[in-house]
Structure 1
Amino acid sequence: MTRGNQRDRDRERAAARVGGKGKNKDDGLTPEQRRERDAKALQEKTAKKAAGAAGGSSDAGGKSTKK
């Protein structure tokens, strides 16, 4: 084995780089509560996106993108 402990050191470094990032599965919510929370967040996101698209769809710049 020519690498010695290099592989182990690389794994430790990679784990340190990730740090606290990632998904936290233990958030203290039941699956039903988690679904409700996610559904509410998704509804807010789509409403915000729809409001932005409705407000930005008018051609206020005077330039047309059609050729």
Structure 2
Amino acid sequence: MTRGNQRERDRAKAQKAAQGQKKSTGKSGSEMLRDKDKVAQIMREKQQKAEEKRKADAAAGGGGGGGDGETPK
């Protein structure tokens, strides 16, 4: 029974820490969603550019492997 006070103090400390973590985002749900969509759009553009570059390299005859076509020993 001597640990009762310690348990209560630890519980209060954990609650304080949890409250601090909840407030750490600083953005509302709509702001977070807008930022997420913005990042997703940037990634789609990067993927599209990479795909276009891959197609252009393939059309130009670039195998992308480099070298003379022989496998190294």
Relative to its length, the structure with more helix (as a share) is 2
Correspondence 1:36 to 2:37: no
Pairs aligned (count) = 40
Q: Give the corresponding residue for 2:6.
A: none
**Structure 1 moving runs of 4+ over 2 Å:** none
Query: How is 1:28-67 mapped onto 2 (pairs within 5 angstroms)?
Result: 28-58=26-56, 59=58, 60-61=61-62
TM-score (norm 2): 0.46
Gapped runs of 5+ residues in structure 1? Answer: 1-23
Query: Which has the greater radius of gyration?
Result: 2
User: Considering only aligned residues, what root-mean-square deviation do their CA atoms show, in Å?
Assistant: 2.3
Larger relative contact order (Cα-Cα within 8 Å, sequence gap ≥ 6):
2
> How many percent identity over aligned positions?
17
Q: CA deviation at 1:55?
A: 1.1
In the TM superposition, residue 27 of structure 1 has moved relative to its aligned partner by 1.4
Give ranges in structure 2 of 5+ residues lacking alignment: 1-20, 65-73
